[in-house]
Amino acid sequence: MASHGERKGQNKYYPPDFDWRKNSSLNAYQGVHALRERARKLDRGILIIRFEMPYNIWCNTCGNHIGMGVRYNAEKTKIGNYYTTPIYQFRMKCHLCDGHFEIKTDPKARDYVIVSGARREEQRWDASQNGQIVMESTEEMKKLATDAMFKLEYDGKDVAKKTSKSGPDLNELEIHQSAWKDDYIINYVLRKNLREAKREDRLQKEADDHIRKKASIDIPLLPSNRHDDRIAKLYRLEPPQSAEQTEIDRREAIDQQQVLKGTSQTPSEINWTPATFTSNKKKLSSALGIVRSIDKPQQSSETIVKSLVSYDDGDSS
């Protein structure tokens, strides 16, 4: 299967009379350049490009201001070399009049230079006067990269330059501090802070010794933090209450329970004295569900015989 690049080449239309032995490409067959109209002056070494104005200028023909970033169709021409870097010149027509102006590159200064037809709006500034990084020349940069002694001298000059610039500020600061300096107050505050720090260290050491003695350990303890305190509160090495208190709570809970399901009194609320016990006898019996049978008088044997005889007489009649 053909790749994307191969499909792109194969999808071009080749007419029937195209002969690859006579024409190397379709552009050569049709007699046109690949850049079309941009290459119409290529025989004179001129290529049409889109040029963007690198800075603000004034046109000498009409006197109008042209801002940085305005784009023109410019004729690009190579006019020389700076070492191996080519130097290009751009010629373009002002869009506000019929005048032309030319600008060329300056590789040595890393800038653009106006050749004719316009003048530059001077907005250049010295980087060293504004506290910016100053770009060194190419020779110095190469020497810094290859010569260790030159680099050492360069660094020494840089340090001396910084010291000379910061010297007046340091002197002014020392004068200001000496005017408000009080040795007694400074010494008093320093010794007070030292005493407080020693006291805190002593208290912390005593607390650590107490913990080590209680836990029977002999290792240095790190200072506690909020996270450790929160974790330690989640663990308890002893029950929340003693065994005696647990037994007392259990007995109180039993004492508060109802004696029977049918009663609403607890054992602590019932009066167990003899007088009240007799009066509450029926209440307790009904609560227990005890049904007492009624006592009937016992009949003698003679009474039973008489009743049977009377029953027989009545039956025979």
Between CA 151 and CA 19 the distance in angstroms is 64
Average pLDDT of the residues of the chain = 77
CA–CA separation, 300 and 289 (whole Å) = 34
pLDDT average, residue stretch 199-207: 93
Backbone angle region of 33, left / alpha / beta, with phi > 0 → left and psi within -120 to 50 → alpha: beta
pLDDT tens, position by position, 231-288:
877 776 666 677 788 888 888 888 887 655 555 555 555 555 555 555 556 665 665 5
In the prediction, which pLDDT does 277 show?
53
Task: Give Cα separations from 92 to 32, 63, 87, 263 (angstroms).
Answer: 24, 16, 17, 116
Confidence category of residue 1, pLDDT binned at 50, 70, 90: very low
CA dist 119 and 102 (Å) reads: 10
Residues 99-156 have pLDDT tens digits of 999 999 999 888 999 999 999 988 776 666 665 556 566 777 777 778 788 788 877 7
pTM: 0.39
